[in-house]
């Protein structure tokens, strides 16, 4: 196995760096680098820039408007975007629903919906989790009862990320109650302006608003909005979650965040010396960096196998666990470096004066609290460990 990029991949990396240097708006990059909130307008502006270059959905086949990137090109793209301070592509349309439609959708659904994802006409959100069905997704209770050419949906979804910006939601619904729980689930597409839908915000511990509750009361959805066959939504759910978990590792985000912690530790002094020279802090930093290097190599090994047509089994689960643990450890190290300046709600911050923390680090505490979620969503790390254990026991 060769872990070095080929000449073609290095040329692609150079093109990417040139493109990002010229086209990534500086105001957006400044927000991302300082971990400030990126607005809907910011995200849509960046999507439009990438779409004009043909790189919004680079891994999609050319027949559907992509570039046909393989896993290594996609990895290079995501890493370079992170290092440049680009916002993450909102995944629900491009990286989740798009591949599902290509695999399971009808030609009519593909022709209608895929271009609308690319040009920003539709902003999708995900209707998977419920109050009693998160990691145990098979126990979901939202019902979709057939009534002629429509389904009538009743139930509740929760933790719907960025749903306040969306005009459509893809949902897992129960269309059969007898038999195994997994055998009675279907995957449907719903317009959020349909009568009977109510969305309520959920405030997070750091004060942000990015997730919602969605309530369905007698919501009528055309049967034509079913993706795949009725009662076979579990297969689609697993296909989609595989894409979600692969992206959660966030190697590029960790690389960029670790460099920021190093910079911070050079600015802050303890007992007259830069913090980065403190023995205990340096040891913690070195341990995280070593784990990150190991994960980068593991990630490249998996990418090399996938690029050669090899099948990935439970490896995305391993990446999800380690990637989220490393990102949380980096957040924790930044919090320790800031000390009292990492107070979650300093009055100076509320007044718009961010001078209590070094420049660019006023939102580190908020990132620390917000990223407590990443080891839970997309299938909690405990569930991923069960998947790995089952894979090992089956050998």
218 with 254, same domain? no
Question: Exposure string (b/e) for 47-65, b if CB count within 10 Å is 16 or more?
Answer: bebbbeeebbbbbbeeebb
Task: Tell me the CB-side half-sphere exposure of residue 347, using CA atoms within 13 A.
Answer: 0
In a domain, 349, yes or no: yes
Within a domain: residue 111?
A: no
Per-residue pLDDT, 129: 92
Give the best-scoring range by mean pLDDT among 137-141, 163-167, 235-239, 388-392: 163-167
Kindly report the CATH number assigned to the domain that includes residue 176.
2.40.110.10
Identify the domain boundary among 200, 230, 260: 230
**pLDDT tens digits, 75-86:** 899 989 999 999
Question: 55 and 152: one domain?
Answer: no
Q: What pLDDT is stored for residue 393 in this prediction? A: 78
pLDDT digits (tens, 9 = 90+) for 88-109: 999 999 999 999 999 999 999 9
β pairing state of 143-147 and 185-191: unpaired
pLDDT for res 250: 81
pLDDT tens, residue by residue, 279-299: 999 999 999 999 999 998 888
Residue 385 has pLDDT above 60, yes or no: yes
Whether 149 and 82 have beta carbons less than 8 Å apart is answered as no
| The domain boundary residue, chosen from 230, 260, 293 | 230
Dist. CA 343–CA 369, nearest whole Å: 11
Q: Using an 8 Å Cβ cutoff, are 308 and 70 in contact?
A: no
C-alpha 86/C-alpha 158 separation (Å) is: 28
The answer to whether the beta carbons of residues 235 and 273 sit under 8 Å apart is: no
Q: Which domain holds residue 81?
A: 7-89
- Residue 213: CB atoms within 10 Å: 17
- Does residue 184 share a domain with residue 70? no
Instruction: Say how many domains are in the chain.
Output: 3
Confidence check: pLDDT of 244 > 90: no
pLDDT number for residue 305: 80
**Same domain flag for 156 and 187:** yes
Tell whether 254 and 370 lie within a shared domain: yes
In the chain the beta strands, taken as DSSP E runs, fall at 124-127, 143-147, 150-157, 168-174, 185-191, 197-203, 209-222, 226-227, 269-270, 273-274
The C-alpha atoms of residue 192 and residue 169 are separated, in whole angstroms, by 7
Q: Would residue 118 count as lying in a domain?
A: no
Contact call for residues 159 and 127 (beta carbons, < 8 A) = no
Phi, psi for 188 (deg, rounded to 5): -125, 155
Predicted pLDDT of residue 2 = 61
The residues, ordered by sequence, that sit 6+ positions from 95 with a Cβ below 8 Å of its Cβ are 89, 243, 244, 247
**Are residues 77 and 214 both part of a single domain?**
no
Flag whether 235 is in a domain. no
pLDDT at 395: 60
Q: What share of the chain is helix, strand, coil (3-state, %, to 5)?
A: 55, 15, 30
Look over the chain and give the mean of its residue pLDDT values, rounded to a whole number.
89
The answer to whether 244 is a known catalytic residue is yes
**Residue matched to tokens 């990443």:** 374
pTM: predicted TM-score of the whole model, two decimal places = 0.87
pLDDT digits (tens, 9 = 90+) for 3-31: 678 899 999 999 999 999 999 999 999 99
Domain membership of residue 128 (yes or no) is yes
Q: What is the pLDDT of residues 104-161, one digit of tens each?
A: 999 999 999 999 999 999 999 999 999 987 777 888 999 999 999 999 999 999 999 9
Of the listed ranges 74-78, 216-220, 327-331, the least confidently predicted one is 74-78
Average pLDDT over residues 168-179: 94
Specify the pLDDT at position 350.
52
Question: Is 266 found in the same domain as 352?
Answer: yes
382 & 260 share domain: yes
**Among the options 244, 259, 315, 382, which is catalytic?**
244
Q: Is residue 351 pLDDT above 60, yes or no?
A: no
Helix (H, G, I), strand (E, B) or coil at 366: helix
The domain that holds 390 is classified in CATH as 1.20.140.10
> Which of 89, 115, 139 finishes a domain?
89
């Amino acid at each position: 196995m060769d872990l070095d990029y080929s000449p073609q991949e290095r040329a692609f990396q150079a093109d990417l760096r040139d493109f990002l240097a010229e086209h990534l708006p500086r105001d957006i990059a400044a927000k991302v680098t300082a971990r400030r909130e990126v607005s809907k307008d910011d995200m849509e502006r960046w999507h439009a820039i990438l779409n004009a270059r043909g790189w919004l959905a680079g891994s999609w086949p050319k027949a559907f408007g992509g570039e046909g990137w393989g896993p290594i090109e996609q990895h290079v793209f995501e890493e370079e975007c992170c290092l440049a301070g680009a916002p993450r592509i909102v995944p629900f349309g491009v990286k989740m629903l798009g591949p599902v439609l290509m695999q399971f959708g009808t030609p009519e659904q593909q022709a209608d919906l895929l271009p609308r994802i690319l040009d920003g006409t539709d902003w999708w959100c995900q209707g998977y989790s419920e109050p009693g069905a998160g990691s145990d997704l098979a126990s979901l209770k939202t019902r979709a009862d057939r009534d002629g050419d429509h389904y009538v949906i009743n139930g509740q979804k929760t933790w719907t990320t960025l749903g306040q910006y969306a005009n459509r939601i893809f949902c897992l619904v129960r269309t059969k109650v007898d038999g195994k729980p997994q055998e009675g689930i279907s995957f449907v597409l719903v317009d959020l302006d349909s009568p009977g839908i109510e969305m309520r915000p959920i405030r997070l511990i750091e004060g942000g608003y990015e997730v919602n509750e969605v309530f369905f009361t007698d919501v009528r959805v055309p049967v034509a909005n079913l993706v795949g066959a009725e009662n076979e939504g579990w297969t689609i759910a697993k296909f989609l979650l595989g894409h979600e978990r692969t992206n959660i590792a966030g190697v590029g985000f960790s690389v960029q965040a670790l460099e920021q912690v190093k910079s911070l530790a050079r600015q802050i002094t303890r007992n007259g010396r830069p913090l980065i020279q403190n023995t205990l802090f340096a040891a913690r930093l070195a341990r995280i960096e070593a784990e990150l290097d190991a994960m980068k190599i593991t990630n490249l090994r998996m990418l090399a196998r996938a690029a050669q047509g090899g099948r990935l089994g439970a490896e995305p689960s391993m990446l999800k666990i380690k990637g989220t643990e490393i990102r949380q450890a980096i957040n924790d190290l930044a919090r320790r470096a800031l000390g009292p300046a990492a107070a979650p709600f300093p009055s100076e911050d509320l007044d718009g004066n961010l001078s209590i923390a070094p420049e660019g680090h006023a939102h580190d505490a908020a990132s620390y609290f917000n990223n407590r979620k990443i080891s839970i969503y997309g299938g909690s790390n405990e569930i991923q460990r069960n998947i790995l254990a089952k894979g090992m026991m089956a050998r």
